[in-house]
Amino acid sequence: MINAAPLNIAILQTLLEQNQLHIPHLSSFQEQLSAAKTAGLPALITLYEQVLPIVEEYLWSTTQFEPTLELYQKLFREQDSLIQQGKHTQQKHFVLSIPIADRPEHLRGSLESIYQICHLYGYGGKTQGTFKKVTVIIVEDSKEQCHIDADISLAQEYTKKGLTVHHYGLDEQYQLMLKLPEAVRKQVSSIIGEPSVDKFYHKGQAVTRNLSHLKLLQLSEQNKAFNKDHALYYFVDSDQQFRVNRVTEHGDEFVYALNYFHTINQIFNDNDIAMLTGKLVCDPPVSPSVMAANFLDDVTAFLQQISQKNHTTPCEFHPKQKIKPDDAAYHDMAQLFGLKSQHKTYDYCCTLKEKHDNAACFNTFSSRINHFFFGEHLTRKTYFTYQSPQNAIIPARTIYPGNYITTFEGLKYIIPFGQLRLRMSGPTAGRLIQSEIGQRFASVNLPMLHARTLQSDFKDEYRPGVEDNIEHIDLGDEFERQYFGDLMLFTVDRLAKSGINIEQYDEPTLSEMLSVIELELLNLYETKHHNVIHKNAEFIKAVNNSQAWWNTDNNSKEAVQQLQQFASNIQHNFNEQALAYQQIQSASHREKRIATILDALLHYQQDREAWDAMLLHPSHAQALPS
pLDDT digits (tens, 9 = 90+) for 573-599: 998 888 888 888 899 999 999 999 999
Mean pLDDT value across residues 517-541: 93
- Left if phi > 0, otherwise alpha if psi is -120 to 50, otherwise beta: which for 199? left
pLDDT of 458 higher than 60: no
At 5, give phi and psi (nearest 5°).
-60, 150
Q: What is the pLDDT of residue 1?
A: 39
Mean pLDDT value across residues 594-607: 92
pLDDT of 479 higher than 70: yes
In this prediction, residue 566 has a pLDDT band, given cuts at 50, 70 and 90, of: very high
301 vs 348: CA distance, rounded Å? 9
74 close to 122: Cβ distance less than 8 angstroms: no
Mean pLDDT value across residues 240-265: 92
Helix (H) or strand (E) holding 39: helix 29-39
Mean pLDDT value across residues 122-128: 94
**Would the pTM count as exceeding 0.75?**
yes
440 vs 373: CA distance, rounded Å? 37
State pLDDT tens for residues 367-390: 999 999 988 899 998 999 999 888
Q: How many residues does the chain have?
A: 626
Q: What is the pLDDT of residue 623?
A: 53
103 vs 43: CA distance, rounded Å? 46
Range ranked top by mean pLDDT from 239-253, 415-429, 446-460, 547-561 = 547-561
pLDDT of 460 higher than 70: no
Q: What is the pLDDT of residue 465?
A: 47
160 close to 118: Cβ distance less than 8 angstroms: no
242 close to 262: Cβ distance less than 8 angstroms: no
Mean pLDDT value across residues 157-182: 93
Give the residue with greater pLDDT, 469 vs 204.
Answer: 204
Architecture of domain 93-279+386-454: Alpha-Beta Complex (3.90)
Residue 119 neighbours by CB distance under 10 Å? 17
535 vs 340: CA distance, rounded Å? 20
Q: What is the pLDDT of residue 622?
A: 52
Range ranked top by mean pLDDT from 134-143, 190-199, 450-459 = 134-143
Q: What is the pLDDT of residue 463?
A: 54
Rounded percentage of the chain residues whose pLDDT exceeds 90: 61
Supply the angle between the helices 41-59 and 10-18 in degrees, to the nearest 10. Answer: 60
Mean pLDDT value across residues 71-82: 97
Q: What is the pLDDT of residue 73?
A: 98
SS3 99: strand
pLDDT of 441 higher than 80: yes
Per DSSP (E only), the strands in 76-230 are 93-100, 126-127, 130-131, 134-140, 164-168
Mean pLDDT value across residues 12-16: 95
Tell me which of 8-17, 69-78, 450-459 is least confident: 450-459
In this prediction, residue 556 has a pLDDT band, given cuts at 50, 70 and 90, of: very high
Mean pLDDT value across residues 510-532: 93
Q: What is the mean pLDDT of the chain?
A: 89
Q: What is the pLDDT of residue 504?
A: 87
pLDDT of 471 higher than 80: no
In this prediction, residue 3 has a pLDDT band, given cuts at 50, 70 and 90, of: very low
395 vs 402: CA distance, rounded Å? 18
Domains of the chain: which residue ranges? 10-85, 93-279+386-454
Mean pLDDT value across residues 57-71: 96
pLDDT of 41 higher than 50: yes
Mean pLDDT value across residues 69-82: 97
Q: What is the pLDDT of residue 149?
A: 97
In this prediction, residue 617 has a pLDDT band, given cuts at 50, 70 and 90, of: low
274 contacts: CB under 8 Å, gap ≥ 6: 406, 407, 409, 410, 413, 437, 440, 441
Q: What is the pLDDT of residue 347?
A: 92
> If DSSP states are collapsed to H, E and C, what string results for 459-497?
HHCCCCCCEECCCCEECHHHHHHHHHHHHHHHHHHHHHH
Q: What is the pLDDT of residue 466?
A: 55
Mean pLDDT value across residues 516-536: 92
pLDDT of 606 higher than 80: yes
Tell me which of 254-268, 320-334, 493-507 is least confident: 320-334
